[in-house]
Chain A
Amino acid sequence: MGQRSNSSSPTREDDAGHGATENFKMTMLPGGYMGKILQVDLTTRRSRTEPLDRTLAEQYWGGHGFGIRLFYDLVDPAVDPLSPENKLMFGAGPLTGTGAVAASRYVVVSKSPLTNTIACSNSGGFFGPEMKFAGYDVIIFEGRADKPVYVWIENDRVEFRPADKLWGKTPEETDEAVRAATSPHAKVACIGPAGERRSLLAGVVNDRQRLAARSGVGAVMGSKNLKAVAVHGTGSVRLADAEAFWFAALDVLKKVVNDPVSFGSFRAYGTANLVNLINEMGAYPTRNFQEEVFEGAAATSGEAIAEKILVKNRACFACPIACTRVSEVKDGPYQGRGEGPEYETTWAFGALCGVSNLEAIARANFLCRDYGVDSISAGATVACAMELYEKGYAPESDIGFPLRFGDAEAMIRATIMLGERDGKFGARMADGSYRLAAHYGHPELFMGVKKLEMAAYSPRVFQGMALHYATSNRGACHVRGNTVAAELYGIPKYVPPDTLEGKEELVRRPFQNSTAFVDSSGICLFTKFAITHREIVAMMAPATGLDFTFDKSITQGDRIWNMERLFNLRAGFTAADDTLPDRMLEPVPGGPRAGSRAELQKNLETYYQLRGWDEHGVPMKQKLAELGLEDFWGVVGG
């Protein structure tokens, strides 16, 4: 039997007002928010709740914003990410669970053991809404359990249960076992074997197959001996002005279902609809970014997935798009069934490894799901290992077999080694491509920024992505400033990929700041092809009853970006970390974009100026004052 804490327990410190929100003044919130933060101490196996503060909501809005500000206040940036002193936060947005289109998202915030930066990973499915139905906007896990546990949260009740029998199980097996032991209605977020083994590529897996994948947040969960969190709630999200909310929400729904990108391409072909488009542009990184055109793109495209292995679409909570693919390889050596592969996974195990066997790529995707690892970083690490092998830097005696680009079977074997931490080479791969390449004395073969691997958009072609990869607060992440929307789809307006002019403002405002805002709302980023900030704000204001405006949303995104920057600076990062791999500064060797390269330095200087940062990348006093962060002046040099 697990331990139980309840409202009469002396271990519970409800409404104490000291802890997560002590920097904020307490007042009630009218809607959108559930009004509570749950703090779970795994060391003592006690929990307590605190009220969510109105000022925190007004300044940081939810999800991403809550996570960053609370984390900044509660955790020393110098903390060892895998120590009990690090915290792991799950945060939902005010729209999560309201029924607004695609409002399914929650974030996982921590200090990344992969990058040592702030980590904020994001996932859809049903877990985020269920957190809200149980009554919580944020759940904070701290400390470390002495033995593996899972935490069962049902409305106000929090139980700590032994997870010894779950240790070693895949996320799907864990989900099934936990729901059998708790409630069939429970939604489960857990780690797979990779998180247990503290692979720095491990993610948090919710709803069996969806990952808050990047930055190694699953390793943090594993370091806390926290195998799973199951949550079930019987509440609902209160709306401050239901009629105005639904009017705005149905207007958004109409736009999304009539949009050729959000509802057209993503519904028909999933995210992998991008494979042929990006490859035709000559911007599809191939064989560890050595080339930018992949000869096997058509065979591994969204169209090929639809024709060969697609079973059906699947949707997250309140989503009409249903971009998730459920695919199945029915026979042969790569048999399997499940969600995906997504665009990035198709690329990472396909073009990046030179593999054009779609069934093998699907198999690698299923392996990542079963181990619970980030498929982008895992595929990129295998690709890096292939280049290390082909150039003679990593000997076959270390790997155990020839690991050549294009060899599907070798790619699968390497992925299994990574997931299993099998041998020394597997253990090195499990900690990502930077550490692997550095071990063999060739860190220049790591294709990422701040130790996070880049995704499937070449920064040698998309100059906006070059600047974004270099400056993104969690490393070379593609989603938090995906200028490809403008540089390919023309959203919000077309800007040619190879031009430099205006890219600094494009990256900063409509992408980085905007994404920080969207990820705070609880809405899926994929709606942004069809709607703008204004429409999201038009839902948030009546949902919450707070005075949210378009202008405030811009400031809010900027505030989050700067808070993350301050955290990273305090953790020891400098302007020298805002860079790209040398290979990206060299010309593309062939294809339609031959000669193109990332022109980073000029854009970077202007970007700092537009951000209100000095030449060292430190936010200046005036900027902090503009964001209401003047108290943070002087926490770092500048």
Chain B
Amino acid sequence: MGSLVRVRLFAPFDRLCGRRDVVAEFSGTPRLADVLLRLVEQHPALGRYILKRTGNGTVDFENYFLACVGENIVLPEDRIPDGAEVKLFVPHAGG
């Protein structure tokens, strides 16, 4: 079964990607890490802001931004169900 995940981008990620949302299709049920890596594939400029190179050559994610599904924070290893909307944002107080 494939999954369709929508990523909604809040400032400044929307400005960096030039759009407010991105839809990605996966063959199974992806982890958040898979969704973020797909996002970087589609918008390489985003990589420098959200990916962190670790000492052993693997890829990790920066810790200054949050991802949520509904009102729940999701972490890189969490599975994102089909049809979910992932909100990606910097946890700042707004205006």
Contacts and interface: CB of A to CB of B under 8 A. Distances in A.
Interface of A: 97, 99, 101, 126, 129-130, 133, 242-243, 246-247, 249-250, 253-254, 257-258, 315-320, 322
Contacts of A253: 64, 90
Contacts of A317: 92-95
Contacts of B62: 254
Contact of B64 (A99, A130, A242, A257): A257
Interface stretch (B9-17, B22-30, B71-79): B9-17
B47 to A, nearest CB: 12
B55 interface: no
A246 B94 CA distance: 16
Given A126-B95, A317-B93, A318-B92, A254 B11 contact: no
23 contacts: A97-B95, A99-B11, A126-B93, A126-B95, A133-B95, A242-B15, A243-B16, A246-B15, A246-B16, A246-B49, A247-B49, A249-B12, A250-B90, A254-B62, A254-B63, A257-B63, A258-B64, A315-B92, A315-B93, A317-B92, A317-B93, A318-B92, A319-B93
A322 B93 CA distance: 9
Given A257-B64, A258-B63, A250 B49 contact: yes
B49 A99 contact: no
Contacts of B90: 250, 253, 320
A270 to B, nearest CB: 16
A258 B11 CA distance: 21
Contact of A247 (B11, B48, B92, B94): B48
B95 A130 contact: yes
A254 B64 contact: yes
Nearest to B11: A99
A378 B62 CA distance: 44
A304 to B, nearest CB: 26
Contact of B95 (A101, A129, A258): A129
A431 B15 CA distance: 50
B12 A99 contact: yes
Nearest to B93: A315
Given A253-B64, A320-B64, A246 B92 contact: no
A319 B92 contact: yes
B46 to A, nearest CB: 11
Given A258-B64, A318-B94, 20 more contacts: A99-B11, A101-B92, A126-B95, A133-B95, A246-B12, A246-B15, A246-B16, A249-B12, A250-B12, A250-B49, A250-B64, A254-B63, A254-B64, A257-B63, A257-B64, A258-B63, A320-B90, A320-B91, A320-B92, A322-B93
B94 to A, nearest CB: 7
Contact of B93 (A130, A133, A258, A318): A318
Contacts of B11: 99
Contacts of B45: 243
Interface of B: 11-12, 15-16, 45, 48-49, 62-64, 90-95
Nearest to A98: B12
Nearest to B91: A320
A99 B16 contact: no
Contacts of B63: 254, 257-258
A254 B60 CA distance: 14
Contacts of B64: 250, 253-254, 257-258, 320
Contacts of B93: 126, 315-319, 322
A48 B38 CA distance: 52
A570 B58 CA distance: 63
Contacts of B95: 97, 126, 129-130, 133, 317
A106 to B, nearest CB: 14
A381 to B, nearest CB: 33
Contacts of B91: 320
A209 to B, nearest CB: 14
A314 to B, nearest CB: 8
Contacts of B48: 247
A316 B94 CA distance: 8
A254 B49 CA distance: 9
A129 B94 CA distance: 10
Contacts of A257: 63-64
Contacts of A320: 64, 90-92
A139 B94 CA distance: 23
A254 B45 CA distance: 17
A134 to B, nearest CB: 11
Contacts of A316: 93
B50 to A, nearest CB: 9
A253 B93 CA distance: 13
Contacts of B92: 99, 101, 315, 317-320
A419 B84 CA distance: 55
A-B pairs, top 6 by smallest CB distance, nearest first, are: A315-B93, A246-B12, A257-B64, A318-B92, A253-B64, A250-B49
Q: Most chain-A CB neighbours within 10 Å: which of B15, B62, B64? A: B64
Nearest to A315: B93
Nearest to A233: B95
A318 B92 CA distance: 5
B73 to A, nearest CB: 14
A72 to B, nearest CB: 32
A555 B75 CA distance: 45
Contacts of A126: 93, 95
A85 to B, nearest CB: 35
B86 to A, nearest CB: 19
A250 B49 CA distance: 7
Q: Most chain-B CB neighbours within 10 Å: which of A99, A130, A133, A258? A: A99
Contacts of A246: 12, 15-16, 49
A313 B91 CA distance: 13
Nearest to A257: B64
Contacts of A315: 92-93
Contacts of A319: 92-93
Q: Most chain-A CB neighbours within 10 Å: which of B48, B92, B94? A: B92
A129 B12 CA distance: 17
Nearest to A256: B64
A319 B45 CA distance: 24
A207 to B, nearest CB: 11
A316 B11 CA distance: 17
Nearest to A314: B93
Nearest to A243: B16
B83 to A, nearest CB: 30
Contacts of A242: 15
Nearest to A318: B92
A240 to B, nearest CB: 14
